[in-house]
């Protein structure tokens, strides 16, 4: 059985064909230009793949950048809502796919909820029912599950905009988020690292002070999320988390900040509590597959 997945991002849409084990069989990167062009090319990709393989897809899932409307009762369900990205406000992302494939179940959720679902199905979060997936890259986003369902509410979590105190020795005067002077994304995303140190994070050596400060902000956000949601674990992905030296630094700082307040055997050692994605950089695109399979299972129940 084949499923289609879309990892819809602000710079590219990754469209892919996968199987039920989360294997990526084929993928194509489509630049994010206008919604009309990007969504048309995404639909054409799946049509071409079906034709070339002589096999229909069983479902398609879309893990989209946000903010998105996840309320099935809303007239804007499946839309990106108001976004600073030019042309994309109120783009009907799920509708474009549904209209092209009217017979197929189409799953839709945030990019980070999708990645969290994929980590739950095939990756590092298989044993967890309540957990958080955080991506740290061009932006910061948090998603995941609560008791086996993806996190959503009035809108959906926006953990990248948790407000954090700026550290006194931070060379930045203000974070890079246009909306908030001092938020998680504004202080810890890839662009904030570049602005603070005058060069891209991947060009900084592993022992650069950038990483100690980065771990400081990540640990503060994680501690706050622990206090609100009590997750069974955290999966940290995205390009900044390629800096593997961050993991032990974050764990040590979280332990220090928590100050033994949270009592549970699993928190005695954070090595298996704060972990990299089991799916590596495929967590995002596998999020599309996981949403496709979720939509298929839902369709088979009714
Ligand atoms: Zn912000």
Q: How far is the CA of 87 from the centre of ligand 1 (A)?
A: 21
Q: How far is the CA of 229 from the centre of ligand 1 (A)?
A: 20
**How does pLDDT run across 122-172, given as a tens digit for each residue?**
999 999 999 999 999 999 999 999 999 999 999 999 999 999 999 999 999
**How does pLDDT run across 33-49, given as a tens digit for each residue?**
999 999 999 999 999 99
**How does pLDDT run across 189-241, given as a tens digit for each residue?**
999 999 999 999 999 999 999 999 999 999 999 999 999 999 999 999 999 99
- The percentage of residues in the chain with a pLDDT greater than 70, rounded to a whole number, is 100
Dist CA 148 CA 47 (whole Å): 32
Q: How far is the CA of 163 from the centre of ligand 1 (A)?
A: 7
Q: How far is the CA of 140 from the centre of ligand 1 (A)?
A: 9
- Measure Cα distances from 41 to 74, 100, 158 in Å: 26, 12, 29
Q: What is the mean pLDDT of residues 83-109?
A: 97
**How does pLDDT run across 261-290, given as a tens digit for each residue?**
999 999 999 999 999 999 999 999 999 999
Q: How far is the CA of 137 from the centre of ligand 1 (A)?
A: 14
Q: What is the mean pLDDT of residues 57-82?
A: 97
Q: How far is the CA of 180 from the centre of ligand 1 (A)?
A: 4
Q: Read off the DSSP letter of residue 165.
A: P
What is the band of 61 on the pLDDT scale with cuts at 50, 70, 90?
very high
Q: How far is the CA of 185 from the centre of ligand 1 (A)?
A: 6
Supply the pLDDT for residue 302. Answer: 81
Protein residues placing their CB within 5 Å of the ion ligand 1? 161, 177, 179-180, 183
Q: How far is the CA of 160 from the centre of ligand 1 (A)?
A: 7
Calculate the CA dihedral of residues 229, 233, 238, 243 and round it to 10 degrees: 130
């Amino acid at each position: 059985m084949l499923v289609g997945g879309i990892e819809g991002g602000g710079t590219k849409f990754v469209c892919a064909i996968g199987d039920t084990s989360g294997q990526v069989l084929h993928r194509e990167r489509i630049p994010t230009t206008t919604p009309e062009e990007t969504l048309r090319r995404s639909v054409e990709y799946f049509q071409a793949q079906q034709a070339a393989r002589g096999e229909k897809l069983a479902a398609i899932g879309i893990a989209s950048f946000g903010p998105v409307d996840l309320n099935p009762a809303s007239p804007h369900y499946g839309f990106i809502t108001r976004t600073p990205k030019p042309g994309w406000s109120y783009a009907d992302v799920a509708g474009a796919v549904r209209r092209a494939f009217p017979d197929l179940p189409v799953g839709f959720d945030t990019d980070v909820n999708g990645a969290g679902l994929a980590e739950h199905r095939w990756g590092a979060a298989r044993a967890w029912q309540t957990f958080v997936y955080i991506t740290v890259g061009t932006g910061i986003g948090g998603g995941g599950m609560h008791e086996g369902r993806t996190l959503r509410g009035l809108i959906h979590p926006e953990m990248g905009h948790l407000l954090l105190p700026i550290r006194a020795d931070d060379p930045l005067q203000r974070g890079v988020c246009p909306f908030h002077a001092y938020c998680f994304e504004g202080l810890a995303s890839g662009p904030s690292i570049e602005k603070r140190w005058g060069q891209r994070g991947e060009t900084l050596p592993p022992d650069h002070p950038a990483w100690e400060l980065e771990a400081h902000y990540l640990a503060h956000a994680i501690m706050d999320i622990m206090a609100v949601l009590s997750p069974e674990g955290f999966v940290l992905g995205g390009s900044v988390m390629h800096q593997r030296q961050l993991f032990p630094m974050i764990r040590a700082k979280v332990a220090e900040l928590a100050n033994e307040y949270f009592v549970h055997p699993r928190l005695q050692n954070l090595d298996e509590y704060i972990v990299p994605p089991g799916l590596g950089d495929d967590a995002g695109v596998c999020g599309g597959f996981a949403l496709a399979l979720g939509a298929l299972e839902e369709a088979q129940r009714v």
